[in-house]
Amino acid sequence: MLREPFEILLCPSIHNSVFSSAEKENLCLYGFPNEHWEVNLPAEEVPPELPEPALGINFARDGMQEKDWLSMVAVHSDAWLLSVAFYFGARFGFDKSDRKRLFGMINELPTIFDVVSGKSKTKAPTNNNHSNSKSKSNNKMPKPQLKEEDHEDEAPDAGEDGGGAAGGGGGGEEHGDTLCGACGDNYGQDEFWIGCDMCEKWFHGKCVKITPAKAEHIKQYKCPSCMGANGGGSGSNKR
């Protein structure tokens, strides 16, 4: 619905139907799933079943340059398409991830205004920007681990066994050689990890049922093995 209508918007039938309808008021431009557009009167029911397009697109046509008027109609059409898309998203019960995916699919295509104004050819680099933003967001994922490393540095025994702590809390390059003390898998950059202040082993948060939110309230974390060795006396520090 977002590709072919750009050309249909400029086709003579649409153009002429607007300019030859001086006796009609509040004309709207409707788009249909078959990728056709139609200039018509607004829906009679109040409120309408679907979001209503901009009313009166024919009012300003005589006082504007034709190119500027078509650009104005294109902008209103873009806004209407977005409202219709998210209207159906709400009706179909889209959650946050579904809405995000829908918005991403829409952004992969040029807008009607981009095509009408001739800017559609410059929209391609936005895909690279989108991927760069993803990579930047991925780089921010390990930040909770840095907070846990700060807690480890504050532990009383950090100075004595500095060699082992440095291997687990050093740069991102050394993290790749760290194994989870529970499942034995390698460190993943997009996963939350927590280090035991007693045995200095690192664990996936999911393996020991610790989330970043819980970790913020733990002053000294002890893994399940160390808690068992101490008879469970420090179990309150885990929860």
Q: Each residue of 46-63: pLDDT tens digit?
A: 677 788 887 777 777 777
Q: How confident is the model at residue 160 (pLDDT cuts 50, 70, 90)?
A: very low
pLDDT score, position 18: 53
Confidence check: pLDDT of 203 > 50 = yes
Q: Which of 223, 225, 226 is nearest to 210 (CA)?
A: 223
Q: How confident is the model at residue 144 (pLDDT cuts 50, 70, 90)?
A: very low
Q: What is the rounded (10 degree) CA torsion for 87, 88, 93, 97?
A: -80
pLDDT score, position 149: 47
- Kindly list the structural domains of the chain, giving each domain's residue range(s) and its CATH number in brackets, ordered by start: 5-138 (no CATH), 143-237 (3.30.40.10)
Alpha helices in the chain (DSSP H): 5-10, 12-19, 66-91, 96-107, 112-116, 126-139, 143-153, 162-169, 172-175, 212-215, 224-229
Q: Of 37-46, 64-73, 159-168, which range is least confident?
A: 159-168
